[in-house]
Amino acid sequence: MSHVPPSLPADGRPWVYLASQSPRRRALLEQWGVTCVPLLPDASEDAEALEGVLPGETPLAYVRRVTRLKLRAAEARRRQRGWPPGVVLCADTTVADGGDILGKPADAADATRLLQRLSGRRHQVLTAIALAWAGREALAVSRSTVSFKPLSAEEIDAYVATGEPFGKAGAYGIQGLAGLWVRRIQGSYTGIMGLPAYETAELLRRAGLRLL
C-alpha cells in the first residue's frame, strides 16, 4: 500500500504523529492544542499481536513493554513510508485487579464477567505513554485507582448491550456511561481515559513541544 506524505502544520503549532486509533486520545491532544497526524498500521500489520501477555508478567511490566513495542513499530512505519521526522506518540492502558491484567473483552459474556469482577471493588488503571523523536525515546506511566459501586445484573446487562465495553481494557470507559458507577478515583482522570495530561505534557516538553 502506498502512503501519501501527510500535510503537516506550518504555523508553528505543536503537532505529533499519533500512533493510536483511540478517539479519546486524539480528542485530549487536540483539546490541549496539539495537532494529530495519524500514523496507523497497515492491514498487513498484526498490531493485536503486540498485546499478548507474557507468562508471569506484572501489569506494570506489561504496559511498559507493550507501549515500547508499539512505539518502535510506529517509528519503523514512519521511516518505511518516508514521512518527515517528527514526534511519534504511543500509549497503552491496562486495567489490573491485583496482579491480574484485565484486557479487552472478547464478547458480551467476557464483558459481563469482567464487570462482575470489578463490581463493588477497587481496581488499578495503568496508562503508559511513550514518545520517539530525533533518535530518542521516553516513557512514563500514570497509575490510578478506581472504585466501582456494587453493580446489579440488570445494570451490567444494560451496559454491555450499549456496546460501550468493547475495545476497552477492563470492559469499560470512564468517560462514558460507566462513569455513573465510579464512586471514587485516586490519580489521573485523563490517565484513566487513556492519556494522562501531566505525564503527556512533561514528555512533550522533553521532546521540544510546549503546550503553554
Task: Catalogue all structural domains in the chain, each as residue range(s) with its CATH number.
Answer: 15-206 (3.90.950.10)
Q: Are 51 and 63 in contact (CB under 8 A)?
A: no
| Catalytic residue IDs | 92
**Tens-place pLDDT, residues 19-59:** 999 999 999 999 999 999 999 998 777 767 788 899 999 99
Largest CA distance in the chain: 53
**Tens-place pLDDT, residues 56-75:** 999 999 999 999 999 999 99
The pTM for the full model equals 0.92
* Tens place of pLDDT per residue across the chain (212 aa): 557 778 888 778 899 999 999 999 999 999 999 999 999 998 777 767 788 899 999 999 999 999 999 999 999 999 999 999 999 999 999 999 999 999 999 999 999 999 999 999 999 999 999 999 999 999 999 999 999 999 999 999 999 999 999 999 999 999 999 999 999 999 999 999 999 999 999 999 999 998 88
Q: How far is CA 175 from CA 27, 72, 172, 189, in A?
A: 12, 29, 9, 9
Query: Which of 131, 125, 116, 108 shows the shortest CA–CA distance to 29?
Result: 131
